[in-house]
Structure formats: structure tokens, C-alpha cells
Chain A
């Protein structure tokens, strides 16, 4: 098992944890936290591949992660604003109860 495998393994673990949390937790904020974790796991993959990949002089991995961090920040801001406005409307952040879009 090379270091790259280790990093990929950790990333997969983080991704799975984030996914499990996003799928099982009731609170919308924790769901968002889970999604952030998944994003970060992907970022870790990018960095790891950049570091151990065949073309480390190309900074694609790093630049991608930088952009991803910025996009994630925007996503977090908008997501949390959404949660707050949903909370104002429904007086709850429980995603099980916010289901007025059901068919």
C-alpha cells in the first residue's frame, strides 16, 4: 500500500462518512456539513493525485482545489441562507418535516 492509496482511502472514508451523515441526520445544517465533508474528500483526492501523479509540475490539481474551495464557500453561504429562510418559514430545520413538495 503506497501513500497514495492511503490518502485515497482516507478520502473515501471521509466521503462515506459525509454521505452517511447527509443521508441519515435530520437536521438540515448537519446535512450541509455532510455535503461539505464530501466536497473536502474530493479535494483531498485532487491534491493527492497532484502530489503523486505523473505531472506534478502542472498545477491543475491545486488550482482545481482552490476553485473548489471558493465554490464551496459560496455554496455554504447560499445553503445556510436557504436553511435560515426555510427555518423562518417552517419553524424547523428538520428535513423530514420539510416535505411539502411531495407528490
Chain B
């Protein structure tokens, strides 16, 4: 066992210490706080790289999974134990989280430079990083859940970072409550699992519930409702992932979460936290894939996962088509891509889903940070209709954003998104159950290309509509924030031209763009390094992988589809300069459909109508019951009580009270008599004390004499 595996706990503890220290730092210690966060994250990255190296070194050997468990507390007869493990999955996630986190931390220094709560921001970010890293290395579902909840808490805190904005506060609440619904199911799943298997450790030298003995004992059990126990547990755990990863139907919180600062959106709501759901499924994959005894074949949990993923992928992509907020488009895109990941996990296995998770983390963080840079450069403008022509003003942002966009759209060969998405589509194509997810995925890919092109056209091409938009938006802002303290940036004067962002913001963009391109080559069918790494095998470079049956056709199809989406988008939006006043092209053609999409399929309204309406109906029913049924009962009872009490009173006054009064007077008279002694003069008491002592001493002496 390597030293890094023994000391893996250091990785989450470093940012935790950073968070703790900057929590107590005074507000003006900006440099200290940022330096602490970045320094601890950099150290964590170094350690994560060591861990990665260790994992690479152990690939293919017997100890590819290094586990350390420690007893935590006593529960009943046994000890609840927690621990950490180092396997390829953990190592990959560690490096990804640390690297993206570090870049985003650096980016935040520039982005949050003018915020007065700078230290608080970095404290929360560090805490998030600590919890996320803890979640990654956890070897116990309990520890995993704890970190999962801390991650949710920091997400809440950071979405609501500008809590004086009512929308941000509402979005934070929404995110917190929506994910809680999933987490409740997750917790029930954990409890059920503990009840069934008696352990929450993933791996424990043959004792953990992800290992063969426990799995085979689980597989044989059937619950009272006819569902196989592993399937039930897996679905409950999957509910947690649905909430966290914004899958349908719990996706509503993720777009609203864009109220938070953009680095937060990039780190938490694009790269890492929302991917935690996918990671969870990947982590407990053996449980998910466990087919009930007697029913060999694909596990029903995986079928559900695949379908949910596929539906989410298309569903969110369609919504993204009609959005106008730059960050919201990306948010729906994230939901859609998470759906892809789920689909990949369900149809193809851990490696497929995780590969897309890693590549997506980089290019989506890149896109978000690019969007942040755009917003920063356009003085807080978020509506794409009011941008345009930024290519000239922000060349680096444009270039990196274009790379991210092409990676996301799946432009063939040179971008990582192409390879990872292709992998998913390929596995969906191979899925034995049905080909519908494959077709849905294809539609999703088409839409991805389309809406990203649309966004690019709006933001970077055409002529600059900023001045027009600015007057309206700044008016709106003054109206909306009159009387509120200065929010993101206390800019008073509005410079006329959009400008390129400072170096601390641009550098991470370039770095992420680099990774967005390069990472793809680690997972091509010709050199499936990441996939092999995750499965614990050595990868070999083999062009023959390309010519396996079904690989090339799918690649070709998906390339065509992606290019078709991009072409369609350019044809609709890019040919002539756009005008912020005119209606969207699609809106002109199909106004009803477009409104439906823009209002997100009326999901929020549906929830409002369904749950809030139900609640109201229930309240009215209760009210009616209360008014007409219970009221009568209460009246009856109270009449009875009044009658009894009248009798009682007569009895009381005539019989009990008189006796009681007599007694009381006697007692109070005695008390008055005794209180004469208590005359408030300390010396009287002292005198009595002296007499008492003397008498006692006399008695003592007398007693001694007699004996």
C-alpha cells in the first residue's frame, strides 16, 4: 500500500483547513483568504496527482483497489466504520475535481475581485472542495452521504451568495429543497441497504456490500412488494442521483441555480457537484448492475437509469433551444449532458459514463467561465439578445469559448466531446433492450449542436447590440435593485465598450481549452486509455479498434448529426445580423411550440399547480372538516364540560374552599409568627448561631463525660 493511499485523507482535509482558517479571517484579508484557498487546492492537486500515479502504477495488479477503514462509533453490537479507498475511479475524479477546482479558484480571484464578501466566498468554495473530495474518496456510503449533504449545503450557500437578491435566495431554497426530495429517497435506500447487508462500506476485504459475497446474498432477496431488494435499493439510491444531477423530473432547480456567481455555476453546477450523482451511480455500479437471482440479463435499475438519462438528454436540449439567458442555456445543456452520462452508465457501463463526465467537466467549466467572462466584459449583461459581435472585443474568450462549444457539440476528431459522446451513442446502439435511447441521443446531439450555434451567433457574431441592450437593462437594474446594496460589482460608470477580462480569468480559460481538446485522445476507440484504466487493464494503442463493427458507422452518423445541428443553427441565426427587437426565427415559425419551450414545458407551473394546488386543496378540505365536523364535536364537549364545571364550582366553593381557606389562614398565621425571627439583622442570626454552637459543644462535652 502506497503512502498516498494511507494519507489520502489529507486531500479533503487540506481545503477543509483552508475553509476553517478563512472562516475566522477578518473580512479585509482578501489576499490571505484567496491565497489559502488556492494554496490548499494546489497542494491537494499535487497529492491527487500522486494518488493518480499510484493508481496508474497499480493498474492490472492485484491491489488495484487500496482501502483503509477506521472504526468511527459504536452502534449496537458493532462498530460503524468509515474509510477511504483509492481505485482508478477515485483517482480520476480526484485529479479532475482538483484541477478544475484550482482553475476555477484562480478564475474567481478575478471574477469576485470587487465583491465585499470575498473571504466568505472563498471559505465556501474551499468547504465545497473539501466535501467534494471527501465524497470522491469515501469508502462508506454513510461518509459519502455526509459529504453529499455538505456539498448540497455549500451549493445552497453559494447559490444564495448574493442573498439580498430575492431571486437568488429563492433559487437557493429551491435547489436545497428539490435535492432534498432525492436525498430522502437516497437515505431510505441507505437505511434499507444497512438493514439488508449490515454494512455501508463499499469495499472491506470481501465484506463490503459492493463485493461478491454481499452482492450474491443481496441478489437472492425479494421484498414484500414483489420488487427485488437490490433493484429497490438501487432505484432509491438512484433517486438521490436524480436530485443531485438534475435528471427529469427533479431538474427544475439546476437552471435556477444560475443565480449564483458564475464561478460557482462553473464549479458546482457544471463540473463537479452535479456530476456527483453520476459518480454515485458509477461508484455503486455493481449494485446497480445486480440482476435479481433467477432473472439474468440487464438489471432493471440500469434500464430505468438509461431511460431517465435519455429522456433528460432530449428534454433539456429542447428547452435550451428557446432560452435567452446565456447561463440558462448552458444550464439546460448541462442537464442534457448529464442525461447523456446517465444513459452512458445505464447502457454502456462505468467507463463510458465516466469518460463523458470527465470531458464534460472540462469543457462545461470552460463554457461557464467563458460565459462569466462575457458577462463580466459586458457589465453584467446576461441576455444573449442584447450581446453580439463580441468576437472583436474579447478575442481570447471567443477562441476558448468556440473550442468549448465545438467540444460540447461533438465536432469530430479534434474535440474531446466528440469521442466521449460517440462512446455513449455507440453503447446505446449496442444496448440489447431497445434502440430508442440511441435515437433519443441522436436527437439530443442534433439539438446540442443547434442551440450552441444559436448561442454563439447571438453572443459573438453579428453586430454589437450592447448599447441598446444596456440602456434597457441598466434601467431595469436600477429599478430592480433600487435601495439594495451594490451587488456583484459596484460599477457606477458604465464604460461604453465591452472589454477583455483580466489575466486571472483568461488563463484558466486557456488551460481548460487545452484540456478540452487533449482529453479526447485518451479515450478514442483506437486508444481506450481511460476506459481501460477504469476497468483496471492496460491500454494498448490499436487502430483496429476503429474498425470494430458498429464503431465507424456510429462515428459517422454522430459527426453528420452534429455538423447538421451546427449548420442548421448557422443557417437560421448566423447568416444575417440579428436584431434584439425582432422575434426569434423559431418563434416566428411555431410560436406556440417556442413558448412552450421557453416556459420550460411549464414544469415550474405544473409543480406549482400540482403540489401547491394539492396542498391548497388539502388545506381547504381540512378547513371544511374543521368547521363543520370537529366544531360540532367540540361544541358538544365544551357544553358538557361547562355543565360539569358548574356543579364542580358549587361543590368547590361551598365545601373545599372553606376548608382550604381555614387551613391557609392557619399556615400563614404561623408563618407570620415565625417570620418575626427573620428580622433581617445579620447579627441576630450570628447570635443564634453562637448559641447553637455553644449548646452543641456543651452536649458533646456532656456526652463525652457520660461515656
Contacts and interface: CB of A to CB of B under 8 A. Distances in A.
Contacts of A60: none
Contacts of B683: 22-24, 31, 95-96
B682 A103 contact: no
Interface stretch (B283-291, B305-313, B601-609, B671-679): B671-679
- Determine the interface band of chain A, counting residues with CB < 8 A from chain B: 10 to 19
B690 A19 contact: yes
A103 B690 contact: no
B629 interface: no
A89 interface: no
Contacts of B687: 23
A98 B674 CA distance: 20
Contacts of B678: 101-103
Contacts of A101: 678, 680
A103 B686 contact: no
A15 to B, nearest CB: 10
Contacts of A2: none
A26 to B, nearest CB: 9
Given A22-B686, A23-B690, A103 B681 contact: no
A100 B681 CA distance: 9
Contacts of A22: 683, 686
A40 to B, nearest CB: 17
A17 B686 CA distance: 14
B436 to A, nearest CB: 85
Residue from A24, A31, A95, A98 having most chain B Cβ neighbours under 10 A: A95
B584 to A, nearest CB: 80
A31 B676 contact: no
- Tell me what chain B mostly uses at the interface: helix, strand, loop, or mixed: helix
Contacts of A58: none
Nearest to B678: A103
Contact of A95 (B672, B675, B682, B690): B682
Interface in B645-694: 672, 674-683, 686-687, 690
Contact of A102 (B674, B679, B690): B679
Interface string B565-608: 00000000000000000000000000000000000000000000
A57 interface: no
A24 B690 CA distance: 13
Residue from B674, B676, B683, B687 having most chain A Cβ neighbours under 10 A: B683
A103 B684 CA distance: 13
Contacts of A98: 680, 682
Contacts of A100: 680
A103 B690 CA distance: 21
B680 A102 contact: yes
Interface residues of B, number: 14
Contacts of A24: 683
Interface in A18-45: 19, 22-24, 31
Nearest to A101: B680
Contacts of A31: 682-683
A95 B675 CA distance: 19
Interface in A73-103: 95-96, 98-103
Nearest to B675: A103
Contacts of B676: 103
B91 to A, nearest CB: 63
A6 B306 CA distance: 103
A22 B679 CA distance: 17
A31 B684 CA distance: 13
A96 B681 contact: yes
Given A19-B690, A22-B686, A23-B686, A95 B677 contact: no
A84 B486 CA distance: 54
A67 B171 CA distance: 65
Contacts of A19: 686, 690
Nearest to A100: B680
Residue from A22, A100, A101, A103 having most chain B Cβ neighbours under 10 A: A103
B70 to A, nearest CB: 47
Nearest to B671: A103
B679 A99 contact: yes
Interface string B616-639: 000000000000000000000000
A6 to B, nearest CB: 20
Nearest to B673: A103
A79 B576 CA distance: 93
Interface string B110-130: 000000000000000000000
B679 to A, nearest CB: 5
Contacts of A102: 675, 678-681
Nearest to B690: A19
Nearest to B693: A19
B11 to A, nearest CB: 53
B686 A99 contact: no
Contacts of B672: 103
A99 B680 CA distance: 4
Given A19-B690, A23-B686, A23-B687, A95 B679 contact: no
Given A19-B690, A22-B686, A23-B687, A99 B681 contact: yes
A100 B672 CA distance: 16
Residue from A22, A23, A100 having most chain B Cβ neighbours under 10 A: A23
Contacts of A23: 683, 686-687, 690
B329 to A, nearest CB: 72
Contacts of B681: 95-96, 99, 102
B356 to A, nearest CB: 73
Contacts of B679: 99, 102-103
Contacts of B686: 19, 22-23
Residue from A19, A96, A102 having most chain B Cβ neighbours under 10 A: A102
A19 B681 CA distance: 15
Nearest to A35: B686
A101 B675 CA distance: 10
Nearest to A99: B680
A73 to B, nearest CB: 22
Contacts of B674: 103
Residue from B672, B676, B681, B687 having most chain A Cβ neighbours under 10 A: B681
B513 to A, nearest CB: 73
Interface string A39-78: 0000000000000000000000000000000000000000
Contacts of B675: 102-103
Interface of A: 19, 22-24, 31, 95-96, 98-103
16 contacts: A22-B683, A22-B686, A23-B683, A23-B687, A24-B683, A31-B682, A96-B681, A96-B683, A99-B679, A100-B680, A102-B678, A102-B681, A103-B672, A103-B674, A103-B676, A103-B679
Closest 4 CB pairs of A and B: A103-B675, A99-B680, A102-B680, A103-B678
Given A31-B683, A95-B683, 12 more contacts: A19-B686, A22-B686, A23-B690, A31-B682, A95-B681, A96-B683, A102-B678, A103-B672, A103-B674, A103-B675, A103-B676, A103-B679
